[in-house]
């Protein structure tokens, strides 16, 4: 991995937004944090794709392991999440192709009971950048509301995100309610999120499982 990508990942794990942050051992003040490093990476023409997949996703994966092993507490996870959100804001202009316009409508939501939105937001940014009209409903969205949005906007695609093994179980509800409303054949259902898999997509009758946001775009193509 390029050194700059490794540095960004390290600083995500340390929850260091910028050079004023101390880091966990308290001795990192003055060293570049996520903001400075992402700026530098973009100036060096490192691709936003690599920054997202190699630094942001992998950094958060490591944070997840540290939380699981009780080395990190909730505020540590939140500090890392803030760094990722800030990095995505900086990457957004580089992911948007200004001349692309499409009539394709995408409804996107994190399912009921689930507040994780970093991955969903990356998906929204990429889709908008590729010209899709994205109706991002936000987090913790019940199946009824998702289906109502599909109906109202006449969307051709719906994307569901879940990060918890408990909340992924709300995904089949959305598919059932789409069937009840006679909308299932009019919309392609994409699902994504760390605990999901292609097997789960098949089991619940979703059309596509996406391991990451770029795979969603590939599948749409
Ligand atoms: Co949470 N959390 N969390 N958390 N959190 C996990 C998911 C966990 C695995 C950590 C762990 O224990 N190892 C664990 C779940 C365990 C389980 O379910 N078995 C967990 C837990 C337990 C919790 C709480 C219950 C903790 C508590 O309160 N005690 C709580 C739940 C709150 C709730 O939702 N009700 C909670 C809270 C939080 C924070 C608020 C602190 C924060 C979220 C901040 C936010 O989202 N704004 C947080 C975080 C940051 C994480 C981890 C560390 C990182 C998640 C993340 O942002 N990843 C996570 C550990 C992990 O995932 N390994 C963890 C980076 C992101 C870019 O990846 O979201 O997977 P991801 O998205 C990818 C792909 O999956 C895909 O594309 C994205 C971009 O490439 N994708 C899609 C996702 N959605 C898609 C939709 C599509 C297509 C692709 O449709 C088209």
Specify whether the backbone of 151 is left (phi greater than 0), alpha (psi in -120 to 50) or beta: alpha
pLDDT, tens digit (0-9, with 9 covering 90-100), for 37-87:
999 999 999 999 999 999 999 999 999 999 999 999 999 999 999 999 999
78 lines ligand 1 (CB under 6 A): yes
Q: Give the CA distances from residue 72 to residues 55, 97, 211, in Å, rounded to whole numbers and listed in that order.
A: 19, 38, 25
Q: How far apart are CA 96 and CA 102, in angstroms?
A: 13
Distance 81 CA to ligand 1 centre (A): 9
Return the residue whose CA atom lies nearest to atom 27 of ligand 1. Answer: 74
CA-nearest of 50, 13, 210, 221 to 120 is 210
Distance 146 CA to ligand 1 centre (A): 20
Q: Summarize the confidence of residues 16-25 as an average pLDDT.
A: 90
Specify whether the backbone of 212 is left (phi greater than 0), alpha (psi in -120 to 50) or beta: beta
Mean pLDDT of the chain: 93
Distance 112 CA to ligand 1 centre (A): 14
pTM: 0.90
DSSP 97: -
Q: Summarize the confidence of residues 103-112 as an average pLDDT.
A: 94
């Amino acid at each position: 991995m390029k050194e700059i990508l490794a540095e960004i990942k390290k600083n995500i794990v340390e929850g260091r937004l910028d050079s004023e942050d101390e880091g966990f051992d308290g001795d990192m003040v003055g060293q570049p944090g996520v903001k400075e490093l992402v700026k530098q990476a973009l100036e060096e023409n490192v691709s936003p794709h690599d920054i997202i997949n190699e630094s942001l996703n992998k950094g958060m994966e490591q944070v997840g392991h540290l939380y699981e092993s009780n080395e990190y507490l909730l505020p540590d996870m939140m500090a890392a999440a803030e760094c990722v959100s800030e990095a995505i804001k900086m990457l957004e202009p580089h992911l948007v192709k200004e001349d692309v316009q499409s009539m394709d409508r995408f409804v996107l939501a994190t399912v009921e009971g689930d507040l994780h939105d970093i991955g969903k937001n990356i998906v929204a940014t990429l889709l908008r950048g590729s010209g899709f009209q994205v109706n991002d409903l936000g987090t913790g969205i019940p199946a009824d509301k998702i289906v109502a949005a599909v109906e109202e906007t006449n969307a051709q695609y719906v994307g569901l995100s879940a990060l918890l093994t408990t909340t992924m179980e709300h995904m089949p509800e959305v598919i059932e309610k789409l069937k009840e409303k006679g909308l299932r054949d009019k919309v392609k259902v994409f699902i994504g999120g760390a605990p999901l898999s292609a097997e789960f997509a098949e089991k619940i009758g979703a059309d596509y499982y996406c391991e990451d946001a770029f795979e969603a775009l590939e599948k749409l193509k």
